[in-house]
A and B are shown apart, each in its own frame.
Chain A
């Protein structure tokens, strides 16, 4: 109770000080402009973080992400120290430690846990994007064999089924109509990194088969389907290898923890026996 009154007195003193300091309208309007919550929140927007979030597939604005981090850290510190303040206990280091853990796990810098998580997510997203490209190629082959729709109509029809290359496909279909097939495919290839393993081959296959009808296409696709199968097999194996590495890591954790547990218990037992109180 005493602490509560103390806090109340402090707050009212601060309020009076603010009232006195902002008695002049000019200063008050300046304060109001500087301390506008929207303006303060806008400062948290960061383009670098936004790019990182976009590449790792997190659909949230950088402003909100930063706001969430800060609110979480403040909440941890306030709850941790607030309760110990009201109950007249000695403050501990635990809330500070928790706040540090929160910062460490969500920071986008390279040498923190958050940076590690983001880079993992980015790699995963890249693999998924490659999977969608293969899927696009397979759908193209299927379309060419059975239905033989116009290329731009086909691309427009399948675009809602993809989540990662959705935007590229919509633009590709517009560009085919406007600039012609070759330029549009050039643009599409440029959307991927230069050392991409197979997007060039996709371009070659589409260029070779588009505009040709009938038996020739089927013959050509039969030849090419071996290449496609090899690409997809490579992709599959690489994905499978990352998965098994991850699974091995996860699987090793309980055994390691049990090992440490037994050692710690034996040490603890020795310390208890030596010093019973």
Chain B
């Protein structure tokens, strides 16, 4: 019964919060359309978001992960969504009166489930955890994409040598058109191409180019961007030659990496299977010793079992993610 009651309570308050948000959003949209133009003009003029460390940081992460990246705006949107999430989870948890108790001293004596209330510190911690989750996912995707970007750059260099007779901005645009959708550099190349076609001063161009190379952070990316800047200044006659040379050195280094990787790739990728195997083996041993019912009651209805199984679960996932990220090194010197 309590489960159903809690479900209705949560859905009631969640729906209420949702309606309030929708109303507020439509209200704000109406009012903001008028001042939007002026505000955006000011915001773009001041570039004030660059001063805030958090926004700069999130902006750098979204540059390689978001498929609809806009400088500054995407980062602010992401931060606002995370703070909405924190607020909504906190308010919802504060309105839930009682939850069934999960952890008991002795789970075998319990006839009907007891209930407890959530303390406000617990609600705060839980809502913070929920609010940080999007950031963690973003971070994982970013560290995956950074490594992928260093390999995708090879494709970009190869395709771009076909368009080496054009000006830099159109060569970038055609190259981005030809890239597959899975290539993480597609959107950044469009952004870079638009900067190359419409920059006001050379310093502005250089700042955007540095942003591109710092997002990938390999020697080849720096070399690529330096070549682009050099060619934009001096003309396209050496464009093809330098791209081909860059392609040569990328392929050379890729061979070296593959050779180094062959020696100890297995240790990391095996780790995940060893973990799963050990966990299964120990669980079957414990089940044989204690029987199903006792094992799961101990695991899921005692404080010590809950804490430890949560730890095992989280460390298993962390090991999986870290192993996946580390097992593929960047294409760099």
The answer to whether A139 and B219 touch across the interface, beta carbons within 8 angstroms, is: yes
Given known A-B contacts A142-B245, A146-B238, A161-B214, A131 and B332 have beta carbons under 8 A apart: yes
The answer to whether B279 and A265 touch across the interface, beta carbons within 8 angstroms, is: no
For A253, what are the chain B residues with a Cβ–Cβ distance below 8 Å? 315, 319
The answer to whether B290 and A272 touch across the interface, beta carbons within 8 angstroms, is: no
For A262, what are the chain B residues with a Cβ–Cβ distance below 8 Å? 282-283, 285-286
Return the contact of B308 from the options A142, A264, A276 (Cβ within 8 A).
A264
For chain B, residues 244 to 272, give those with C-beta under 8 angstroms from any C-beta of chain A: 245-246, 249, 256-257, 260-261, 264, 267-268, 271-272
Most buried by B among A134, A163, A240: A240
For chain B, residues 268 to 327, give those with C-beta under 8 angstroms from any C-beta of chain A: 268, 271-272, 274-275, 278-279, 282-283, 285-286, 289-290, 294-295, 298-299, 302, 304-305, 308-309, 311-312, 315-316, 318-319, 322-323, 326-327
Q: Chain A 103-140, CB within 8 Å of chain B: the 1/0 string?
A: 00000000000000000000000000001001100110
For A83, what are the chain B residues with a Cβ–Cβ distance below 8 Å? 119, 121
Whether B79 sits at the interface, judged by CB under 8 Å, is no
Q: How far is the CB of A265 from chain B (nearest CB, A)?
A: 5
The answer to whether B326 and A243 touch across the interface, beta carbons within 8 angstroms, is: yes
Q: Cα distance A246–B323 when bound, in Å?
A: 10
Whether B83 sits at the interface, judged by CB under 8 Å, is no
Q: Cα distance A265–B301 when bound, in Å?
A: 11
Most buried by B among A135, A264, A265: A265
The answer to whether A276 and B241 touch across the interface, beta carbons within 8 angstroms, is: no
Whether A236 sits at the interface, judged by CB under 8 Å, is yes
For B289, what are the chain A residues with a Cβ–Cβ distance below 8 Å? 266
The answer to whether B222 and A161 touch across the interface, beta carbons within 8 angstroms, is: yes
Whether B18 sits at the interface, judged by CB under 8 Å, is no
Closest A residue to B219 using CB positions: A135
Q: How far is the CB of B206 from chain A (nearest CB, A)?
A: 7
Whether A7 sits at the interface, judged by CB under 8 Å, is no
Q: How far is the CB of A72 from chain B (nearest CB, A)?
A: 13
Whether B192 sits at the interface, judged by CB under 8 Å, is no
The answer to whether B305 and A254 touch across the interface, beta carbons within 8 angstroms, is: no
Most buried by A among B108, B223, B290: B223
The interface size of chain A toward B, counting residues with CB under 8 Å, comes to: 48
Given known A-B contacts A251-B275, A253-B319, A269-B290, A146 and B332 have beta carbons under 8 A apart: no
Q: Cα distance A145–B246 when bound, in Å?
A: 12
Closest A residue to B264 using CB positions: A244
Whether B194 sits at the interface, judged by CB under 8 Å, is no
Closest A residue to B119 using CB positions: A83
The answer to whether B274 and A251 touch across the interface, beta carbons within 8 angstroms, is: yes
For chain A, residues 142 to 182, give those with C-beta under 8 angstroms from any C-beta of chain B: 142, 145-147, 157-158, 160-161, 163
The answer to whether A134 and B222 touch across the interface, beta carbons within 8 angstroms, is: no
For A266, what are the chain B residues with a Cβ–Cβ distance below 8 Å? 286, 289-290
Given known A-B contacts A138-B219, A260-B308, A261-B309, A160 and B206 have beta carbons under 8 A apart: yes
The answer to whether A240 and B279 touch across the interface, beta carbons within 8 angstroms, is: no
Whether A30 sits at the interface, judged by CB under 8 Å, is no
Q: Chain B 168-196, CB within 8 Å of chain A: the 1/0 string?
A: 00000000000000000000000000000
For B229, what are the chain A residues with a Cβ–Cβ distance below 8 Å? 157
The answer to whether B213 and A161 touch across the interface, beta carbons within 8 angstroms, is: yes
Whether A248 sits at the interface, judged by CB under 8 Å, is yes
For A142, what are the chain B residues with a Cβ–Cβ distance below 8 Å? 223, 242, 245-246, 249
For chain A, residues 195 to 254, give those with C-beta under 8 angstroms from any C-beta of chain B: 229, 232-233, 235-237, 240-241, 243-244, 246-248, 250-251, 253-254
Whether B3 sits at the interface, judged by CB under 8 Å, is no
Q: Cα distance A250–B230 when bound, in Å?
A: 45
Whether A23 sits at the interface, judged by CB under 8 Å, is no
For A12, what are the chain B residues with a Cβ–Cβ distance below 8 Å? none
Give residues in A with beta carbon < 8 Å to B. 79, 83, 131, 134-135, 138-139, 142, 145-147, 157-158, 160-161, 163, 229, 232-233, 235-237, 240-241, 243-244, 246-248, 250-251, 253-255, 257-262, 264-266, 268-269, 272, 276-277
25 interchain pairs, CB-CB under 8 A: A135-B219, A138-B223, A139-B226, A142-B249, A147-B238, A160-B206, A232-B333, A236-B256, A236-B329, A237-B260, A240-B329, A243-B329, A250-B318, A250-B322, A251-B272, A255-B275, A257-B312, A260-B308, A261-B282, A261-B305, A261-B309, A264-B308, A269-B298, A276-B106, A277-B106
Q: A135-B218, A160-B210 are in contact. List 12 more A-B contacts (CB 8 A).
A: A142-B242, A163-B214, A247-B326, A247-B327, A250-B271, A253-B315, A255-B274, A257-B311, A259-B282, A260-B308, A265-B304, A268-B305
